[in-house]
Structure 1
Amino acid sequence: MYRVGVIGCRGIGIRHAAGIAELADPERAQVVAACDLAPDLLVEFQKHFAGKWPQIATYTSHREMLEKENLDILTVATSDHAHTALVVDAAAAGVKGIFCEKPLATTVEDAAAMVAACEAHGVVLSVDHTRHWMPIWHRAHELVEAGEIGDVQSIVGALRGERAMLYRNGTHCLDAICWFSGGRPIWVMGDLEPGFEDYSEYAGDGGHDPTTEPAANAYIKFDNGVTAFYGGGSKTTPGPKFSIEVIGTTGCLVIADNESATLIRDEVAETITAPAWPIEGIEAGMHELVQILETGGTPASTGRDGQAVVEVISGILASQQQGHAPIHIPTER
């Protein structure tokens, strides 16, 4: 049985633990420990899962938890800028798998350190870009991979609404762009929303207050020739919260967040459907991690995938500071 620890016990951390609780075979894994800086959240976490795991140990120090609990799996659901030490320390402590919230980190250096630590210690690192575990997104990606729109030429991603924050939710849209591109980003040009012209590094509050993070627009080039346009603001823009249009040589595919997908070929539009999954989203990501530890494999959303998104986000900030110039992104990993 895998021993699981959760760091960050608000709503998303509860969903991480719920993914373990919903395993059909409870002998595969159990949550044995939780860590948070707020003692009241630890009490609520214990209460939430008391019927399933009445003996969850609680900690306010992640290092103490790692030292005492002999964990196999760690989940990280803290504020965006606080992930790095947790993941690096867990990898060194001997955990086998880590499920980390997005964005992986808030700087290029931190993301690289996290990926390097996990690879050095043989740790499976999965990043919660949730659409990898949503049926309609999975089906849409299958169609693109199968050549249903020919070769991908360009992608248009749009993020709207008051929470179109670059780090908090822009990371989801940028990840989807990278995923459907089939390549690696090699340079980016960016433009931040008015009022954030001097925003050169992450200064958010963990994704709670939209005024602490900019929305942004960007143009991205990939190593396979695909180009992408990211329209991420401003935060006052109405409309569907999240959409992606993938344009190929023989057609295009439009996905409107988790609601619908449309395949367009020869001026004929076809609604795409996907069979329901018994479990999806964050919880499915947790199931996948347990399965990988049992039988091998690679996460649908890897640490290196998360690292690429952090590089794009950081490139957008740097481009703003350099007169919207192209910022080259490392391609050797």
Structure 2
Amino acid sequence: MSIIRSYAALEQGQPLQAFDYDAGELKAHEVEVKVEYCGVCHSDLSMIDNEWGGAKYPLIAGHEVIGTITALGSEARGLKVGQRVGIGWTADSCQHCDCCIGGKQVLCQNGTTATIVGHAGGFAESVRAGWQWVIPVPDDLNPEVAGPLLCGGITVFDPLLRHNIQGVHKVGVIGIGGLGHIAIKLAKAWGCEVTAFSSSPDKTQEILDMGAHQVVNSRDKDQLKALRGQFDLIINTINVSLDWMPYFAALAPEGKFHTVGVVLEPLAVPAGVLIGGAKVVTGSPTGSPLALRQLLRFAARTQVEPTVEVFPMSQINDAIQHLRDGKARYRVVLKADFE
């Protein structure tokens, strides 16, 4: 048997409890990673609370893992025992459909295996994933803060790659929380002119310190109107409905409005808005293994680090409550302390 210690939700919405489980035999294509750090994401809370439906308990969440390899399956390639690596939202994909063969594994036609959906995640001493989704961590990237890059980071980095954004472009970011603050830091390091849209004027100086060139009050119609026709890309990170028309109007010709926030209501987009400026409304999940590797290398080279608060994993319920209370600035990270 291969017994792994973890913290699991035994019932919907309940505090996590210590939970040991038998992981079974390591599959040929899998890698086992000893967890050093694991970020806490709102998606973890959604699974624990079964907000999306279909959660199965006991549920072991955690999908922003940084750790070291302890075992390699016989088919794992390009990795070695003792190497520091990361595992994000996706733990596996089929590797043989057109999307996987084409390097778009995150869009796997047979369905990706999410690290925390029907799979044991990183709120544990060890976690497993298919070797292609086990991402090498550069030596000069701080492991304590790197975990959130593997979910929140790649979520806002992929739009830069997808839309061929360059340093000459203007990028707007709606919502400066766990996702938005990383988007600002990455877009600034990418060389872009960055505008933050925030409903919290008291955070203005803090947002400027993150790298934004200007902060716009998202509740000020006059400020929004003054930005008409400026942005090559606007990334929406919030999951609540707004009046989207001022943001569509703020796009430059051929500009892209890209949402990574899961807004439950349909986005009302008049056809004339799209046709008149050849504008585009898009969305995306996380990113491919290649994009994840590129992100970690870029973050290491430019010293982009998410702003985190670190809790011992043994205080996981305190950390989760801190996030539930909206007090996180801006990502919560757990440090494994099983030994």
Q: What TM-score do you get using the length of structure 2 for normalisation?
A: 0.34
Q: Larger relative CO (CA 8 A, sep 6+): 1 or 2?
A: 1
Q: TM-score, normalised by structure 1?
A: 0.34
